[in-house]
Chain A
Amino acid sequence: MTLGLFIPCYIDQLYPQVGRATFSLLTGLGHHVEVPERPSCCGQPMSNSGYAKVGAGCIADFAREYTRFDHIVSPSGSCVLHFKESLEALHSPLAHRVYELCEFLHDVAKVESLPARFPHRVGLHQSCHGLRGLGLGNPSECMVPAFSKPTRLLKMVAGLKLVPLDRCDECCGFGGTFSVFESDVSVSMGRDRIRDHIHHGAEVITSADMSCLMHLGGLLSREAPQVKVMHIAEILTAA
């Protein structure tokens, strides 16, 4: 089928390899993948800053440009959640055709094995919007059976060793513009997260949300450059 791929602004500009890995995963499944030129951004930074009306144009652009696709995929849980919630508020059926990458691979493509190999110790950072917003796994607060779509996918990767964490789903402190307007708390939260991963011997921190990794990676680059961040799509396509 033909898939619409949404590559968010910051991935396009700063992490093109994440877009390429996502593209290759999806085309590898036999899909035809198209990338409309607009919008570049989902509008979440505006909305979370209290200017949802200013960001509403991005939703309108998205609804217009992506309506022709049966399924829309994006390697960013946060953007997907914003699209879904905004479209649901508009009662747009498109809301139910937007998928975060892991969600698509797990629920729609029903991937059972991957030819990927990544012989490293990996810590999974469960992004809040993916976990609690999209339900990619069970939040630790809820007393429900444990499951995790990203973990199931990572377990298909040869040689990969997932490390346990003391706080398996605490927020990293990115929070969009929170990272700038509340930078002290944001940095304090991020430091605690990377310490947890390092303490358990992670060589790489991965996530379904590159924005969390932009924040954690920025801290690691100064404080523990031996540990890297990689989007889950990069690991699922690693050879």
Chain B
Amino acid sequence: MNATNHSKAAHEFLRDPQRAAWHDQTLWMVRSKRDRMAARVPEWEQLREAASQIKEHTLSQLAEYLEQFADNAEANGIQVHWAADGDEHNRIVHGILERHGLRKLVKSKSMLTEECHLNPYLQQHGIEVIDTDLGERIVQLQEKPPSHIVMPAIHLKRAEVGEVFHEHLGTPAGLDDPQQLTEAARQHLRNHFLTADAALTGVNFAVAETGGFVVCTNEGNADMGAHLAPVHIACMGIEKIIPKQEHLGVFLRLLARSATGQPSTVFSSHFLKPRPGQEMHLVLVDNGRSRQLARLDYRKSLACIRCAACFNTCPVYRRSGGYSYSYFIAGPIGSILAPNVDKAAHSSMPFASTLCGSCTSVCPVKIDIHAQLLKWRQEITAAGHAPWWKKAAMQATAFIVRRPFLFRFSGWLARKGLPLANLLRLDPWTRHRDLVDAPKQTFREWHNQQSSKAPVSSENRVNPVQKEPTPTP
């Protein structure tokens, strides 16, 4: 993948302006709902600050909290596994299934298993994997990844979902009624829940002091799976730890409001220990997280609670779609996580931003996302993952702007060229935008002229009224 990877994909996405506008509006609606819901919490900003500090504290003592959590979970009867990377995670999950001869797994949403490519791994080993989150099931049937970490099929219109269901679930062709489509999905998934051998869930929060964990869903699919199957496997990244049960109050209030503008997810399910006769496994996965933890500039990215508020607010994401990003987590947060995994493969992601900072302002745990994007840009160019001419152009610019004579001359030349550029419309700027008509005199030329006829002429003076006179030195 080259440095213009995102811009090329965005170009394709924007070839259908109406669809792009629909995508933008749909996600903007989610952002607006989030605003209305956040505004109703008088202590919203204090909650964000508390969440940020709890996460920073936890990350500063992550090893201790992980051990505390694992000890408590084991004391509760949960079998705890540690995976250094995605491959080990996949082997552990497969090992559990194989030991019991289990062939069919129902999954509730887990971005971690996307990260580890669990589905293809298990399928290669003859295991049937059913994603049970509705959006995720839709994209699974399409054999596509989620385009959004909270709303995996947000890029699809109702009629397109109808087509997928027609092909895979046998619903009538042309069906686009949401009630009928969800009913079809319900029947389809219910059958899978009843016949599953094992259930896999993600983890939103793992509480060190109790050894329990919380899974948030809107569809209850995590519960349907975990309560019916004889084996429950929960997979989590090591950054999902929070120290105390009471901290859940902070995060659960922030999560759903930030994610979808709901006061709370429909289900916030607390798992503490296996029910009699059930086996409960927990897989703790590093997969590059401790490397990111050691990068002080980017450590805070591990505070992310995967609400995707930064996706919904990002004007670039809304106008380029999740598939325009090279990493499975798209949007602003994905763009600061991806280079930790592979700087070269994801070199265009930190550049897919205007650095407007909306992501940072919306983030419920106050990750300085836009500042980290800028830092990754420096590292990516330093590692040589940028075209040679870009550096040459920047060096030439820096050389010119630091030398007044050269700057005046280059400016004069450039201004002479403006009408031609506007006429030809060949460069990425003038293809869609005019450049201004070149003024006869630059500011500095005017200023030098003024300075030669001191003092400042009265025509250039306005007389604002000030609260207090400005002291003159």
Contact = CB atoms under 8 A, between A and B. Distances in A.
Given A1-B473, A41-B397, A17 B433 contact: no
Contact of A222 (B401, B432, B438): B432
Interface in B439-470: 439, 441-447, 450, 456, 460-470
A41 B401 contact: yes
Contact of A12 (B428, B438, B443): B443
A40 B409 CA distance: 13
Given A28-B464, A35-B444, A54-B394, A218 B429 contact: yes
A13 to B, nearest CB: 4
Given A14-B436, A218-B429, A181 B4 contact: yes
B272 to A, nearest CB: 34
A34 B430 CA distance: 35
B473 A16 contact: no
B433 A218 contact: yes
A52 B354 CA distance: 16
Contacts of A133: 357
A144 B377 CA distance: 31
Q: How large is the interface on B (under 10, 10 to 19, 20 to 34, 35 or more residues)?
A: 35 or more
Interface string B1-26: 00010110011001001001000100
Nearest to B313: A141
B316 A1 contact: no
Interface string A40-75: 110101111111111101100100000000100000
Contact of B401 (A9, A70, A171): A9
A7 B443 contact: yes
A188 B316 CA distance: 9
Contacts of B360: 132
B435 A218 contact: yes
Contacts, number: 259
Contacts of B461: 24, 27-28
Contact of B462 (A31, A188, A192, A237): A237
A1 B470 CA distance: 8
A110 to B, nearest CB: 4
A173 B428 CA distance: 14
B415 A182 contact: no
A113 interface: yes
B411 interface: yes
Nearest to A188: B319
A148 interface: no
A115 B382 CA distance: 51
B398 interface: yes
Interface in A188-239: 188-190, 192, 214-215, 217-219, 221-222, 237, 239
A14 B402 contact: no
A222 B433 contact: yes
A124 B385 CA distance: 38
Contact of B354 (A53, A61, A173): A173
Interface in A1-28: 1-2, 7, 9, 11-20, 23-25, 27-28
Contacts of A90: none
B353 interface: yes
Nearest to A55: B398
Nearest to B414: A13
Interface string B55-76: 0000000000000000000000
Interface in B404-438: 404, 407, 411, 414-415, 427-429, 431-436, 438
B24 A185 contact: no
B446 A16 contact: yes
Contacts of B17: 188
B462 A114 contact: yes
A13 B415 contact: yes
B381 A182 contact: no
- Which 3 pairs show the lowest CB-CB distances between chains A and B? A218-B433, A175-B354, A19-B443
15 contacts: A17-B439, A19-B446, A29-B464, A31-B470, A132-B358, A139-B361, A143-B45, A183-B429, A185-B7, A185-B14, A185-B352, A188-B14, A189-B354, A215-B433, A217-B434
Interface of A: 1-2, 7, 9, 11-20, 23-25, 27-31, 35, 37-41, 43, 45-55, 57-58, 61, 70, 105, 109-116, 128-129, 132-133, 139-144, 167, 170-171, 173-176, 178-190, 192, 214-215, 217-219, 221-222, 237, 239
